[in-house]
Structure 1
Amino acid sequence: MRSTFGMGLALWAVVQATAGAAQEFPVTVTHAFGATVVEEAPVRVASVGWANHEVPLALGIVPVGFARASWGDDDGDGLLPWVTERLEALGAEAPVLFDEGDGIDFEAVASTNPDVILAAYSGISQSDYETLSRIAPVIAYPDAAWTTTWREMMSQNAAGLGMAEEGAALVADIEGRIAKAVAGYPELRGKTGMFVTHLDIRDLSTIGFYADADQRVQFLTDLGMETPQAVREASEAGKYSGRVSTERIDLFNDVDLVVTYGDEARLAEMSDNALIARFPAIARGSVVLLANDPMGTAANPTPLSIDYVLDDYLGRLAEAAARAGE
């Protein structure tokens, strides 16, 4: 997989180029729970939820604490590889890691004495927000839980740091590299991709999928693909996932390829089911299987992970797209 070290230096160059453009304080950030005022430039930054810490890291700020990685952490140190590389590039050690296996560890967050808490991509509730707000100002998601795009994650969190312009520059930088990489895979243009949540042989009565509000699906769009009409129609507003009865599997005849979590053995077991076998993409093997590894994790894109997996992910999608045309 591609190293993010070069990307980290590129991001830092962008930040340095816009270093004089930081916002004046106080700053106000609106979100699903109202508005948060950050009175002074935060020095001690903490985050909860998924990958919010990557925004300050990309902007050259080392957080005092963030959530321990629970998926795709090959060496069990609680850090994903692109985060480790970014910390090394900044000459920093790992900060406090919060264990969110049973929800937010409020005491651990409070122990880091943060000036601001980033949670733009998370599932925090109103109660969580209120509790966290007693610790420090909280930057919550703009609309609904777990529907924040990586672009929104960066812009929302960067605004809370008083670095809105730097955040916008970083988004543009990443978008440019995505566009350059995608140009090498014209076979993906216009192909429809469905992201199935998990292959679960214990319950074949329904098919779970990530909705068009989920950034895994939106990342496929970034990579030149389209969301199938059936997925758009079955997606509920504000929901990041949905389910459809397997008896209605014919709805997905317009799906060119499927991305999902699982292995070849699980896919073979699924394909033996009479209803699943009617799913054209699965029947012809137009499937990208993701494991509990960095690739599987980064299919849910984040500011630092995109470069790490971009070329490999595009290559696997292209292979599945080729099978769709056989």
Structure 2
Amino acid sequence: MSRPFRRASRAAIALIALTVVASSLASCAAAQDTDGGTAQQASGAYPVEVQHAYGETEIASKPERIVTLGWYSQDVVAALGEVPVGVEDFSWGNVDAYLPWFADRVDDLGGELPEIIEFTDAGEYDFEQILALAPDVILANHSGISETDYKRLSEIAPTIAFATSTWASDREDLTLTIGTVLDKEDEAQKLLDDADAAIAAAAEAHPEFRGVVFSYGWFLGEGETSLGLYLPRDPRVPLIEQLGFTGSPDVADLSGTTKEFYADVSLEKLGDIDSQFHIGWANTTDDVEHTISDPLVSRWAPIAAGSYYFFTDQRLAWATTAPSVLSIPSTIDDVADALADALPASN
């Protein structure tokens, strides 16, 4: 597929026959967040209640068997010392089914790599497989699950969806929410502090990034007449901003035009997007060549000036796509060096 890191909404599936045990809600003190859901917990004890786009989910006791869907959540779970029993497949481009930092962490924990959640021929989650894993909780904090998916998953186990937008989350809020669900809030905060310190060190090492206006998007697929650019609510954008770059105001202005994590910009209007340095995602160097050689894209200011970088190394592409407390310490220097090498001295 030409679109990086996008999955179409899955069609409704046949209802899985399950007996749902209703549990009573307990009054709890609220700890509000904006993009990771609202987690509520009474003095570190269960039950935990998390608000998200599809309602509110209660976690009655500490989860032991965890399934993660989408990207990002599996890293946080592993960083907090737990090994999920099921995760999604990450084998796009030149990475394996498991992201390298996740696999290394599981090995450090002495655990077994989790089962890969499969998809049906119709592109739907294999709900029967998830059911067989007998999860205590399903974490889909950074995902594109539909409301139908959520309802079906909730019949298997308490499920936490994204807070507001599909495939968009805030690193701090997501990490703290999962930390609360696992009763490891202090550990979660320490992981966040360490990740921020690593980013700050990389930014200090590259003062040339400061103030450079950037855009981040994907490659131009065959026959496409628009270029997808990631919006500020996508985790890629704030990560690059933390390195010292400045997000394009013109891209930010597109945030109100869609509920997605990206905006499609017509190639005819690409010149209206102010960007001094364009970052792209691509499967191969052929994808890059096809994109930058397009007559309209080639005239866009950053491309015309040779001021661009495309992540064809999927390890680094994933490191910026889902910049987690687990991935950042092991990749941020490589990401920063790659961008620095591509940034023209004139910027």
Instruction: Return the TM-score normalized by structure 2.
Output: 0.81
Q: Which deviates further from its counterpart, 300-309 or 264-273?
A: 264-273
Partner of 1:210: 230
1:236-251 alignment to 2 at 5 Å? 236=256, 238-251=259-272
Q: 2:103 aligns with which of 77, 84, 87?
A: 84
Q: 1:225 aligns with which of 209, 221, 245?
A: 245
C-alpha RMSD of the superposition? 2.1
User: What is the identity, as a one-letter code, of the residue corresponding to 1:32?
Assistant: A
Contact 2:75 2:102 in 1 (8 A): yes
1:142-181 alignment to 2 at 5 Å? 142-181=163-202
List alignment gaps of at least 5 residues for structure 2. Answer: 1-41
Partner of 1:55: 76
Q: CA shift at 1:145, angstroms? A: 1.1
Distance 2:287 2:345 in 1: 19
Q: 1:303 aligns with which of 319, 325, 338?
A: 325
User: Cα distance 1:250–1:23, how it changes in 2: closer, same or farther (>3 A)?
Assistant: same
Q: CA shift at 1:41, angstroms? A: 1.2
Q: CA shift at 1:112, angstroms? A: 1.2
User: What is the identity, as a one-letter code, of the residue corresponding to 2:205?
Assistant: G
Partner of 2:215: 194
Aligned length, in residue pairs: 301
Distance 2:255 2:171 in 1: 20
Q: CA shift at 1:295, angstroms? A: 1.3
Contact 1:72 1:296 in 2 (8 A): no
Q: Which deviates further from its counterpart, 44-53 or 230-239?
A: 230-239
List alignment gaps of at least 5 residues for structure 1. Answer: 1-20
Instruction: Return the TM-score normalized by structure 1.
Output: 0.85
Q: CA shift at 1:129, angstroms? A: 1.0
Contact 1:45 1:118 in 2 (8 A): yes
Q: CA shift at 1:299, angstroms? A: 1.8
Contact 2:220 2:226 in 1 (8 A): no
Q: CA-to-partner distance for each residue in 1:220-258, whole Å, 9 max, x for gaps?
A: 112111111111112335320111221112212x31111
What SS class does the counterpart of residue 61 from structure 1 fall into? coil
Q: Percent identity?
A: 32
Distance 1:315 1:64 in 2: 35
Greater share of residues in helix:
1
Q: CA shift at 1:260, angstroms? A: 0.8
1:1-326 alignment to 2 at 5 Å? 23-72=44-93, 74=95, 76=96, 78-100=97-119, 102-203=123-224, 205-236=225-256, 238-252=259-273, 254-262=274-282, 263-291=284-312, 293-300=314-321, 301-323=323-345, 325=347
Contact 2:219 2:291 in 1 (8 A): no
Contact 2:62 2:182 in 1 (8 A): yes
